[in-house]
Structure 1
Amino acid sequence: MQWNDEGLILGSRRHGETAVILEVMTRDHGRHFGLVHGGASKSKSAMLQAGNIIDLTWRARLDDHLGTMQVEAKEMRTSRFLMSACALHGFLTLAAFLRVLPERDPHSGVYEAVNTLIDQLDNPEVAAILFVHFERAFLAELGFGLDLSCCAATGTHNQLIYVSPRTGRAVSRIPGEPYKERMLQLPSFLLSDGRGIKPMEEDILAGFNLTGHFLKNWIFEPRAQDIPPERQKFISLVLKDL
């Protein structure tokens, strides 16, 4: 068995004296592990840091084996994370999200979205908005899409300002008013007619609260996991730098 692909390094661990087991999110083959001979050497260790993009060839005798990886550097990003705490915590959050995906299950759209987002992580104003959109898309990728297209109570498309914390469906102002203390706020930048509007800090925080609620209840808690703590640190940093 053999294939070639591009991959985002999520992490690695030492194996023996000179090798490492590399964890990579690939474009076409999903999240994958592979043994890199000599990966612990000085010549390769810098290339195999989390966040870097590599070209790789994976080989194994059988498809379900760990296999080996031959790697070549494509884009080195680690230094950017060392210079920006916001970028570092954003990447660590994304890596934790990707580890929710089943191993070897292709998600090419997620791969492209993650790399687009990583390129903006040291630009807080852009990163904040993209991150909320990514979290919403990530929920949809796992089968838990939020329906923000119309009011769940009336079917109308106007004054959508709430989201039901139970169903993930939008609710407009008037039918939602009696229950507003229990509703999640729906920021306009998550709606199609909100594109191009520069969100206020409270809108971005509302967006993170919205996606965070469903990430916690629909993705992480059913797996007996917590939302990665790096997410809250990223939110604090990105809002501070707006």
Structure 2
Amino acid sequence: MHIETQAIVCAVRAHGEHGAIVRALTAETGLIAGYVRGGRSRRLKPVLVPGNLVRGDWRARTDEQLPALTVELIESRAALLGEALPAAAIDWGTALAAVALPEGQAYPRLYAALDGVLAAVAAAPAARGWATALVRYELLMLAELGFGLDLSGCVAGGEGALAFVSPKNGGAVSAAAGAPYRDRLLPLPSFLIEGGSADWPDVLDGLKLTGTFLERDLLHGRAADILAARERLVERIRRVGT
């Protein structure tokens, strides 16, 4: 096995006295784990930060063996970790990929989406610049792993603008058809249909929507441990938007 490509560092775990096991997301091969010798050293510790863009070189004698990994920094996002809101966004976005994705399966759209979120956070640390991209990333994660929402039309047969999502089947419902049941439905913010930017109430509605299905369908068992990172992020966004 030999893979050399650009990757996003998603998770780092200490291994032994000096080493680290790194899980990184690539466009061509998906999520790959590797052992970095000296990964906890002064030289490599600033490189092995979740959110950083690196060039990785994975080598192993067999497919069953944990590859040895060497890394070279392409772009650091470590400076953003000193700011609470950008740090929370990076922590959550990378943790979601590390926990939810199976290793060795390519998800090029998810790689591009996560790279886009991280680039947006770096370009404009204020949440207004990247919050909608984060919601779309979560929505895409659900779709790529087989739990996509049906936002193509009203599942109840109603006409007009889509305004709600059924928490039971993940299908969109029009404003007219959903009005009598609005207390049982989830709001569908317009930016997920029309694109573009969004105001804070719509961003929070989007996070509530994706969070409902992430928690129910994707993040359960041991994977549920990372939901605390998402809760911290949503709470910080809520404080900014109120």
TM-score (norm 1): 0.90
Match of 1:183 in 2: 185
How far off is 1:57 after superposition?
Answer: 1.0
Instruction: Report the more deviating stretch, 147-156 or 135-144.
Output: 147-156
Q: Secondary structure at the match of 1:148?
A: coil
Amino acid at match of 2:65: H
1:211–1:16: structure 2 CA closer, same or farther, 3 Å change rule? closer
Match of 2:217 in 1: 218
How far off is 1:27 after superposition?
Answer: 2.2
Matches for 1:156-171 after TM superposition, within 5 Å: 156=159, 158-171=160-173
How far off is 1:168 after superposition?
Answer: 0.9
Q: Give distance in 2, aligned partners of 1:47 and 1:224.
A: 26
Amino acid at match of 2:138: E
How far off is 1:227 after superposition?
Answer: 5.6
Deviations 1:189-233 (A, max 9, x none): 1113xx33x423221111111111111111113777256112122
Which 4+ stretches in 1 moved above 6 angstroms?
none
Q: Give distance in 1, aligned partners of 2:199 and 2:16.
A: 51
- The count of aligned residue pairs is 237
Instruction: Report the more deviating stretch, 14-23 or 119-128.
Output: 14-23
1:33–1:205: structure 2 CA closer, same or farther, 3 Å change rule? same
Q: Secondary structure at the match of 2:56?
A: strand
Correspondent of 2:128 among 113, 125, 129: 125
Q: Is the 8 A contact 2:11 2:50 kept in 1?
A: yes
Match of 1:42 in 2: 42
1:222–1:164: structure 2 CA closer, same or farther, 3 Å change rule? farther
How far off is 1:16 after superposition?
Answer: 3.0
Structure 1 residue ranges without an equivalent (≥5): none
1:234–1:4: structure 2 CA closer, same or farther, 3 Å change rule? same
Match of 2:175 in 1: 173
How far off is 1:170 after superposition?
Answer: 0.9
Q: Is the 8 A contact 1:13 1:22 kept in 2?
A: yes
Q: Secondary structure at the match of 1:116?
A: helix
Match of 1:21 in 2: 21
1:13–1:217: structure 2 CA closer, same or farther, 3 Å change rule? closer
Q: Give distance in 1, aligned partners of 2:62 and 2:26.
A: 19
Q: Superposition RMSD on alpha carbons, in Å?
A: 1.9
Q: Is the 8 A contact 2:55 2:72 kept in 1?
A: yes
Q: Give distance in 2, aligned partners of 1:6 and 1:238.
A: 30
Amino acid at match of 1:144: F
1:226–1:22: structure 2 CA closer, same or farther, 3 Å change rule? closer
Match of 1:241 in 2: 240
Q: Is the 8 A contact 1:31 1:103 kept in 2?
A: yes
Q: Is the 8 A contact 1:160 1:172 kept in 2?
A: yes
Q: Give distance in 2, aligned partners of 1:163 and 1:50.
A: 33
Structure 2 residue ranges without an equivalent (≥5): none
How far off is 1:178 after superposition?
Answer: 2.1
1:60–1:216: structure 2 CA closer, same or farther, 3 Å change rule? same
Q: Secondary structure at the match of 1:12?
A: strand
Match of 1:53 in 2: 53
Of all paired residues, the percent bearing the same amino acid is 35
Matches for 1:36-185 after TM superposition, within 5 Å: 36-82=36-82, 84-98=83-97, 99-121=99-121, 122-154=125-157, 156=159, 158-185=160-187
Q: Is the 8 A contact 2:54 2:74 kept in 1?
A: yes
How far off is 1:173 after superposition?
Answer: 2.1
Q: Is the 8 A contact 1:124 1:239 kept in 2?
A: no
